[in-house]
């Protein structure tokens, strides 16, 4: 019924009479009442999703997926976890949950979809409505016709043009074979020293994976912080402190200029230094595979431009996944975003299939949620960062909260921080970042939902979060953080971010007021000379000890008491008082303790 | 500046001159520009929250909290976890996260709030604006004036009037002393056999706690299912199967009629049997403490009626916490809900304080989110159950999904089920229930947010959930479940709930079609005689084996393949085909396997 498989010697493509059968389909378009030829270029995430969904909607459609790779429909996001040893069989990434390999035979028999692997799409002819493909094994070419074409061509790891990039023991991490060979070679060659170029998601995940395998790990990042596209400087700084505590050597603000070695890698040179290495993993972002679309004169602006049905400027050609730009769902006109994620790619696939079948479900866009685990930390964000919002010239209010994820009396409670950004004008939530040991992932998903619906801080704080000690405190951290931010907007809470506080203190412009209990204050403190310690309960009685001619920065463990102290001092006539947001728990710099 | 403490010999209350000081406050009401007397009855959750928030908003207000108990501001929800041994010091429940005991002295010094413990409110005089209180230690009475009165009187455990309820070794579980004495006596008396009366939250938590302490545990529940107010019958049945596997003896549909024993408990008698016991925990719901409000002629309808600012029918009297009814935030006019939770009580406290201070933040209501951990299962719901929706005569669509909480290739992935209820007319999400080992709590919080914002199934599926293998699959279970439900609404997916499937199969009205792989099908199966097994990949070639004159019920592990089989059979002209929702993974009844 469909194009002959490569290697059979038949290189042309001739529609059989079956293609002309008149059948009943679900679509409402009369033009679609003949059996539809749908051609999908790309066999990971968006492509297979489009194919399988569409086959369920239009059982008589002829659906063909072509991919130049030998395997399709694998979970690339799982690669670092295979390296770490979280699961033992890399085949699991290409298997269904029931353990069935997602091979072309599986797609044919279980899904009714033809998958042509090792088949590279060369060019689109929009007038003839055909795609010329090359069968890589035989070297032959075919021409495949389409009624609807889907570009699910994805992205590829960016390969910086630096000397040595093709040396042995240099890995990218986008294909199961990359992970498999890395694990093999670490063991076979006894590789010990890893240098990761790029401190984004894959850098974080590979740092964890390789440290857990016992390797020395150095991460080189061009930006002056880790996860530069994802986290603001302060949150990144907080996370970096933790990564260092896990034995990761972070080299920030240095650009890799060469990979050195003979035959195989011996080190990485940067614009500022040189780092020995037995293996290198390069993960400095992805680039869209949009060449086919550009050559077919489809509108591209950085990536392929699509409407909310994932149609390109040619309505018979759809595009989805990592090769397209997305609208921002959070109601900020003018902004498009590129976040290459399998989650979005799968949504695109469904949107495309639904639209082809005449059941349109417009895609609202993304809120740019990103989350990663780095050792025991959860790091992530949804919506806008403070930096993004300021670049967009938005009028924002920002705060940082620190505390436990579940009630403090539960042994399993863990600390984390939330940074929250809201619009001053209408108090809408614009962005949330999380970092720490506590369960930030749950809060990110809720925040993504609030941003999606255009919710305000008051609404966020009103949501009826599930409350039981194993899952959360009576007032969820998100709600408390929203309260802090509304308190700032209402002029009640005067917080200062850790970065600004450090600046003021380094310049000698402010006095620290520690309002913790004496026992706490003896254990660990912020190491600045201008420091007063008065437990909160004694503050009202000891106001005379607080200088009235200086700016006062209050703090405690999480700055709840710091905030109370600010209110007490304000009530006593002190004007220049701010609490350090997130207190000690969110402090990203060095602290002092008796042992040091 | 405030009322003398009990036991000082001064029993009257005389406002001092300081009360008349003209001060600047944050409120906009000119009548509030003198120092305000705020009296709060009740020292747990809502009461302290109101007091502390209000003191920060109005530093010069005189705020007094009275409570008849000797301790205040404790986390009662933590009691079962103390019993279980999750933390060692029960004092943690009355301490701040920084370890400071929340005593009257703490409230005075750190918060500027007067707390009078062992002080019982006897009557409200709304004309004189006073409350008569009794100091329980001295037996004396005082009259406390108020400008604003807050009833945060909470609820109390319902004590059924059955013989033996006052015997030794019968516990309720609402006060730290209950948990402390239970732990003490289990050890001192060597108690072995526990009977829990009531299979609600506390019943579930105590079943876990006491099993983990090595006791035999029987749970007696009057309703024919566990968690009757929270879970639908099918989800409860699914959870009950798990509880039994954890060694909990469930006695459902029996009413406890007497507690037997001499001096101390020996057993519990029901309307159908008798169960030996060394200790009994009674947890059959709470009753509101609304007597003061009723006697003061404030409108009560089951509980105290309040507006969105938590004002009673007397605008100078507020009420919050477990003693009030709540509006339903999910946009269903006419429905009020009673869900006694510390989370809601804390929100009420803030709403009350904000309104008194002239910064009103109306409370939208609750979506009735409830979550509990029972051993390793998470059980919970938000919004409406199917039963509630049908009682309200709503036109709904319902489905159940089963699957893993994170990608199946991750060792940490765990199965759970989601039951989802939506409005047919506008596809709004109405309710979600979760049960299983997987991370259902995260999905409940997101669902609570979607219901709060009146979101539809399409919107739910569009939310940009954080995607990384440690946290979730590419398409979040909530999104997939929403897809299944839209497929049902669109007439594509024909699912049948497990309960209905069992009925059809028990009656011999249907044939089971198992479309799993042979290896899977040999391990475990649904034990009905009319059973065909054809792996999905072979189905199209073996259609002749499927009877055309019978109703076909397809299934697999989670019924993704069951759904595909239904689509294939439909396309082949089979009309009466449904897949069993959630498949084997959500099947709440017995299964068969070779060992049995």
Catalytic residue among B52, B77, B310, B556: B77
Q: How many CB pairs under 8 A join A and B?
A: 293
Indicate the average pLDDT of chain B: 92
What is the mean predicted confidence (pLDDT) over A216-245? 97
Burial A87-115, CB ≥16 within 10 A → b, else e: beebebbbbbbbebebbbebbbbbbbbbb
Q: Is-contact B526 B587, C-beta < 8 A?
A: yes
Catalytic residue among A77, A310, A323, A556: A77
Q: CATH assignment of A495-586, given 3.30.70.980, 1.10.760.10, 3.40.250.10, 3.30.360.10?
A: 3.40.250.10
What is the mean predicted confidence (pLDDT) over B70-95? 93
What is the mean predicted confidence (pLDDT) over A157-175? 96
| Residues carrying CATH 3.40.250.10, chain B | 495-586
- Tens digit of each residue's pLDDT (9 = 90 or more) over B194-239: 999 999 999 999 999 999 999 999 999 999 999 998 999 999 999 9
CB-based burial label for A549 (10 Å; 0-12, 13-18, 19+): exposed
Q: Which long-range contacts (CB under 8 A, 24 or more apart) does A410-414 make?
A: A410/A469, A410/A470, A410/B78, A410/B81, A410/B86, A410/B87, A411/B86, A411/B87, A412/A470, A412/B86, A413/A438, A414/A438, A414/A439
Indicate the average pLDDT of chain A: 92
**Cα–Cα distance between A444 and A369 in angstroms, integer?**
8
Find, in chain B, the residue whose alpha carbon is nearest to that of A81.
B410
Domain spanning A2-156+287-356: CATH 3.50.50.60: yes
Tally of CB atoms within 10 A around B398: 21
Looking at residue B223, what DSSP letter applies? S
At A374 the pLDDT is 97
pLDDT above 90 (res B551): yes
- CATH code at A376-489: 3.50.50.60
At B30 the pLDDT is 46
Q: Return the top range by mean pLDDT from A226-230, A331-335, B332-336.
A: A226-230
Number of DSSP helices (H) and strands (E) in chain A, helices first: 16, 32
CB-based burial label for A128 (10 Å; 0-12, 13-18, 19+): exposed
Domain spanning A170-284: CATH 3.10.310.10: no
- Tens digit of each residue's pLDDT (9 = 90 or more) over A106-152: 999 999 999 999 999 999 999 999 999 999 999 999 999 999 999 99
Nearest-CB residue to A446 (from B110, B446, B461): B446
Residues of A in contact with B110 (CB under 8 A): 536-537, 561, 564
- Tens digit of each residue's pLDDT (9 = 90 or more) over A18-74: 333 333 334 445 444 568 999 999 999 999 999 999 999 999 999 999 999 999 999
Contact A492 B56 (CB under 8 A): yes
Contact B492 A57 (CB under 8 A): yes
**Cα–Cα distance between A473 and A470 in angstroms, integer?**
9
Element (H, E) at A270: strand A264-270
| Residues carrying CATH 3.50.50.60, chain A | 2-156+287-356, 170-284, 376-489
Bridge partners, residue B169, by sequence: none
**Looking at the predicted complex, does its ipTM rise above 0.85?**
yes
Residues of A in contact with B366 (CB under 8 A): 464
**Cα–Cα distance between B84 and B87 in angstroms, integer?**
8
At A9 the pLDDT is 34
DSSP per-residue codes, A318-381: EE-STTB-EEBTTS-TT-EE----HHHHHHHHHHHHHHHTT-------B---EEEEETTEEEEE
Q: Is-contact B234 B588, C-beta < 8 A?
A: yes
Comparing CA positions, the residue from B366, B355, B341 lying closest to residue B310 is B355
Nearest-CB residue to A466 (from B369, B479, B540): B369
At B1 the pLDDT is 31
Comparing CA positions, the residue from B329, B345, B350, B326 lying closest to residue B337 is B326
Tokens of A135: 């069968």
**Cα–Cα distance between A344 and A155 in angstroms, integer?**
13
- Tens digit of each residue's pLDDT (9 = 90 or more) over B484-505: 999 999 999 999 999 999 999 9
Contacts of A519 (CB under 8 A, 6+ apart): B99
**Cα–Cα distance between A586 and B72 in angstroms, integer?**
30
At B335 the pLDDT is 67
Strands A495-496 and A577-580: parallel
Measured in whole angstroms, how far is the alpha carbon of residue A527 from the centre of its chain? 34
- Please tell me which residue, B336 or A546, carries the higher pLDDT value: A546
Shortest Cα–Cα distance, B488 to chain A (Å): 13
Residues of A in contact with B564 (CB under 8 A): 56, 110-111
pLDDT above 70 (res A15): no
- Tens digit of each residue's pLDDT (9 = 90 or more) over B125-149: 999 999 999 999 999 999 999 999 9
Find, in chain A, the residue whose alpha carbon is nearest to that of B45.
A474
pLDDT above 90 (res A334): no
**Cα–Cα distance between A348 and A324 in angstroms, integer?**
10
- Tens digit of each residue's pLDDT (9 = 90 or more) over B369-397: 999 999 999 999 999 999 999 998 999 99
A481 is catalytic: no
Shortest Cα–Cα distance, B461 to chain A (Å): 8
């Amino acid at each position: 019924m469909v194009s002959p498989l490569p290697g059979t010697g038949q290189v042309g493509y001739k529609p059989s009479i079956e293609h002309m059968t008149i059948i009943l389909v679900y679509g409402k378009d009369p033009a679609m009442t003949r059996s539809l030829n749908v051609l999908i270029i790309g066999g990971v995430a968006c492509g297979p999703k489009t194919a399988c969904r569409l086959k369920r909607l239009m059982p008589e459609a002829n659906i063909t997926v072509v991919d130049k790779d030998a395997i399709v429909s694998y979970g690339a996001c799982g690669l670092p976890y295979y390296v770490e040893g979280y699961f033992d069989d890399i085949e699991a990434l290409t298997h269904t949950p029931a353990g069935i390999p997602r091979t072309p035979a599986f797609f044919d028999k279980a899904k009714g979809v033809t998958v042509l692997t090792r088949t590279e799409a060369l060019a689109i002819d929009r007038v003839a409505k055909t795609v010329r493909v090359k069968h890589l094994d035989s070297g032959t070419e075919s021409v495949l016709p389409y009624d609807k074409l889907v570009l699910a061509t994805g992205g590829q790891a960016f390969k910086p043009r630096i000397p040595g990039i093709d040396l042995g023991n240099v890995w990218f991490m986008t294909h199961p074979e990359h992970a498999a060979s890395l694990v093999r070679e670490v063991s076979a060659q006894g590789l010990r020293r890893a240098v990761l170029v790029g401190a984004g998601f894959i850098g974080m995940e590979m740092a964890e994976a390789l440290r857990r395998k016992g390797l020395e790990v150095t991460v080189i990042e061009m930006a002056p912080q880790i996860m530069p596209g994802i986290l603001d400087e302060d949150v990144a700084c907080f996370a970096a402190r933790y990564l260092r505590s896990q034995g990761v050597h972070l080299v920030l603000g240095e650009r890799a200029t060469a990979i050195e070695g003979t035959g195989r890698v011996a080190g990485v040179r940067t614009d500022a230094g040189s780092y020995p290495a037995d293996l290198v993993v390069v993960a400095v972002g992805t680039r869209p595979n949009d060449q086919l679309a550009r050559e077919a004169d489809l509108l591209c602006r950085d990536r392929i431009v699509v409407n909310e049905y994932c149609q390109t400027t040619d309505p018979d050609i759809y595009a989805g996944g990592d090769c397209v730009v997305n609208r921002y769902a959070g109601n900020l006109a003018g902004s498009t975003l590129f976040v290459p994620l399998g989650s979005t790619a799968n949504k695109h696939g469904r949107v495309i299939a639904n639209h082809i079948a005449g059941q349109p479900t417009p895609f609202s866009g993304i809120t740019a949620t990103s989350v990663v685990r780095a050792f025991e930390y959860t790091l992530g964000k949804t919506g806008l960062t403070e930096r993004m919002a300021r670049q967009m010239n938005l009028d924002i209010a920002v705060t940082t909260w620190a505390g436990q994820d579940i009630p403090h009396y539960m042994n399993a409670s863990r600390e984390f921080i939330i940074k929250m950004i809201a619009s001053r004008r209408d108090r809408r939530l614009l962005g949330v970042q999380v970092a720490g040991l506590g369960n930030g992932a749950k809060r990110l998903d809720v925040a993504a939902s609030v941003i999606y619906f255009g919710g305000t801080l008051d609404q966020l704080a009103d949501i009826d979060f599930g409350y039981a000690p194993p899952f959360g405190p009576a007032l969820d951290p998100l709600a408390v953080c929203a309260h802090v931010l509304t308190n700032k907007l209402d002029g009640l809470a005067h917080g200062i971010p850790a970065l600004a506080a450090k600046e003021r203190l380094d310049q000698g412009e402010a006095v620290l007021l520690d309002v913790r209990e004496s026992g706490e204050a003896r254990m660990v403190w912020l190491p600045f000379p201008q420091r007063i310690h008065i437990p909160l309960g004694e503050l009202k009685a000891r106001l005379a000890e607080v200088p009235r001619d200086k700016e006062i920065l209050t703090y405690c463990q999480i700055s709840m008491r710091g905030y109370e102290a600010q209110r007490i001092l304000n009530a006593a006539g002190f004007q220049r008082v701010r609490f350090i947001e997130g207190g000690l728990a969110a402090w990203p710099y060095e602290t002092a303790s008796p042992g040091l």
